[in-house]
Amino acid sequence: MEQFDIAIIGAGSGNMIINRKFADKKVAIIEADKFGGTCLNVGCIPTKMFVGSADAAQHVLGAERFNLSAQLNGVDWRGIVSRIFGRIDGNVAAAEQFRRDNDNVTVFKSHAHFVSDHVLELIDAGDEANSPAAVAEQRISADQIVIAAGGHAHIPDHLSQLPAVMDGSVVLHTSDDIMRIEQLPQRMVIIGSGFISAEFAHVFSSLGVEVTVVARADALLRRHDVAVSQQFTQCAVEQWDVRLNTTVIDIVATSDGARVVLSDGSAVECDSILVAAGRNPNTPGLGLHNTSIEIDEGGRVIVDEYQRTSAQGVWALGDISSHWQLKHVANHEARVVQHNLLNPQNLKAARHDAIPSGVFTSPQIATVGLTSAQAQELGLDVVESTVDYKEVAYGWALADPVGFCKVIVERSSGLIVGAHIVGAQATTLLQPIVQAMSFAVPAADLARGQYWIHPALTEVVENALLRVRL
């Protein structure tokens, strides 16, 4: 059995750990699928490139607001797909080749399965690029193991077990394959109302697809601050066919697609169905029952603040263990593991405060920290302030009727505990607030301790901060 100093399971965020500082370590990187993982292949990066096309289409479709006459004359779906994946696939291949060129790293294109805390079985290790010895042996051991195996799209049983799905007459797409479909559908049903639903509804509707969103709750993005959720739901209803408080009870194949039967007795005809009902960690299949690595009730690997699992010398990071399924969180955790592997006597803790997120939909959404409801649940004495885009000059320039910036500030400390922005450039506008929260800069200092470019859209943030009355 070949022995390694370090074995990394998953070449998504796990692939960024090894650098020149590990030159004297013998490293195994085991990847069952493509280098780059979810973010590069089927997640953040391709979705945002599709959002680029969708936003461009929206500029044309909304040109009248600016007293311009413009028409969207066509959408070259195949062209969009090949531009996006032409760029991505080249990077994926280069990332794998870069690793294969590292003298101290062995790449295994295999599925890793724990046999014990420090021994991995490599399943389907038949890739000819693997070293013959490794393929023959099928097991490796390592002093340190990093689990960076990510997550996968969840298809609820009540959908996957429908007869038409089971017999293959209806296909349920997920974010894994919807971006590579051959043709742009005419009518799409999206099941779920979180991040992925919001982003793909924007993408496909902007490209001319009739989109129906089926949400089991009474609002979309309901884990967001209520002001965001309400505003977004209102905007969604104006753009798409939104069915709230509704579930799918059956799906039947039709001559040109499918009929989705809903709990309110109605049915929607479509030619494509996207399930966006959350993502689960990839712990099943890892063989963790053979180890002392513990998982929580959600199937996540349990880690401490240093990203250590309950098995000595085994670490975990990213979607397999994190409560935040976000790439910037996985990247941060990978940097923490990188430091801790090299500095066992001086461990660094991961930081999980002031984690921002963006939803790249229409309108764009950015959020950090507590919602109003969470602040209330925690019994915090807070002051809130909201400024609409239409109250600042650049909001006039953008003719944005719906955007706003809301900040939530703790009265006693004057520190920002949450902020929520809806509207153009929301994800960019949020960053000064993330910075202030990370470095404990009070709201008043952030507002008046620096210049804000006039009349940039950042004035909406400045004014929301200035309007806080402690």
Ligand X SMILES: NC(=O)c1ccc[n+]([C@@H]2O[C@H](COP(=O)([O-])OP(=O)(O)OC[C@H]3O[C@@H](n4cnc5c(N)ncnc54)[C@H](O)[C@@H]3O)[C@@H](O)[C@H]2O)c1
DSSP 139-185: EEEEEEEEE---EEE---HHHHTSHHHHTTSS--B-TTTGGG-SS--
Closer residue to ligand X (CB): 190 or 288:
190
Site for ligand X in 217-256 (CB under 6 A): 217, 247
Distances (CA, A) of 244 to 247, 380, 408: 9, 32, 28
Partner whose footprint covers residue 11, from ligand X, ligand FAD, none (CB < 5 to 8 Å by kind)? ligand FAD
Partner whose footprint covers residue 193, from ligand FAD, ligand X, none (CB < 5 to 8 Å by kind)? ligand X
- Residue 148 CB, nearest distance to ligand FAD (Å)? 5
425 binds ligand FAD (CB under 6 A): no
406 vs 155: CA distance, rounded Å = 34
281 binds ligand FAD (CB under 6 A): no
Partner whose footprint covers residue 278, from ligand X, ligand FAD, none (CB < 5 to 8 Å by kind)? ligand X
Catalytic, 332? Answer no
Site for ligand X in 332-371 (CB under 6 A): 357-360
- Residue 159 CB, nearest distance to ligand X (Å)? 7
Q: Please select the residue that binds ligand FAD; options are 7, 37, 165, 446, rule is CB under 6 A.
A: 37
Stretch that binds ligand FAD, among 25-33, 66-74, 78-86, 246-254 (CB under 6 A): 25-33
- Residue 153 CB, nearest distance to ligand FAD (Å)? 7
Measuring CA to CA, which residue among 185, 221, 191, 231 is closest to residue 205? 185
Distances (CA, A) of 41 to 27, 79, 300, 361, 447: 24, 18, 22, 20, 39
Q: Please select the residue that binds ligand X; options are 184, 188, 276, 416, rule is CB under 6 A.
A: 276
53 vs 77: CA distance, rounded Å = 10
Q: Is 263 exposed, middle or buried (0-12, 13-18, 19+ CB in 10 A)?
A: middle
Lookup: tokens for 137: 């042996």
Closer residue to ligand X (CB): 355 or 436:
355
Partner whose footprint covers residue 32, from ligand X, ligand FAD, none (CB < 5 to 8 Å by kind)? ligand FAD
- Residue 263 CB, nearest distance to ligand X (Å)? 10
Site for ligand FAD in 100-129 (CB under 6 A): 111-112
Partner whose footprint covers residue 191, from ligand X, ligand FAD, none (CB < 5 to 8 Å by kind)? ligand X
Site for ligand FAD in 301-360 (CB under 6 A): 318-320, 325-328, 330
Closer residue to ligand X (CB): 196 or 317:
196
Measuring CA to CA, which residue among 236, 340, 313 is closest to residue 21? 340
Q: Please select the residue that binds ligand X; options are 53, 325, 367, 425, rule is CB under 6 A.
A: 325
Stretch that binds ligand FAD, among 12-20, 60-68, 206-214, 374-382 (CB under 6 A): 12-20
Residue 99 three-state SS:
helix
Closer residue to ligand FAD (CB): 50 or 452:
50
Q: Please select the residue that binds ligand X; options are 52, 278, 299, 414, rule is CB under 6 A.
A: 278
176 vs 48: CA distance, rounded Å = 14
Tell whether 131 is in a known binding site.
no
CB atoms within 10 A of CB 297: 5
195 vs 276: CA distance, rounded Å = 8
Do residues 359 and 326 lie in contact, with contact meaning Cβ atoms separated by under 8 Å?
A: no
Place of tokens 């989705």: 260
Closer residue to ligand X (CB): 191 or 242:
191
Describe the crossing of helices 44-61 and 77-100 by its angle, rounded to 10 degrees. 150
Q: Annotated catalytic residue: which of 158, 323, 352, 454?
A: 454
Phi-psi region of 245 (alpha: psi -120 to 50; beta: other; left: phi over 0): left
Distances (CA, A) of 33 to 6, 124, 176, 327, 366: 20, 11, 12, 18, 31
Stretch that binds ligand FAD, among 279-287, 306-314, 375-383, 434-442 (CB under 6 A): 279-287
Do residues 348 and 338 lie in contact, with contact meaning Cβ atoms separated by under 8 Å?
A: no
User: What is the pattern of x (binds ligand X, CB under 6 A) and - over residues 171-210?
Assistant: --------------------xxxxxxx-x-----------
- DSSP letter, residue 295: B
Stretch that binds ligand FAD, among 65-73, 147-155, 241-249, 343-351 (CB under 6 A): 147-155
Chain residues that interact with ligand FAD, rule: CB under 6 A: 9-14, 30-33, 37-39, 42-44, 47-48, 111-112, 148-150, 175, 196, 282, 285-286, 318-320, 325-328, 330
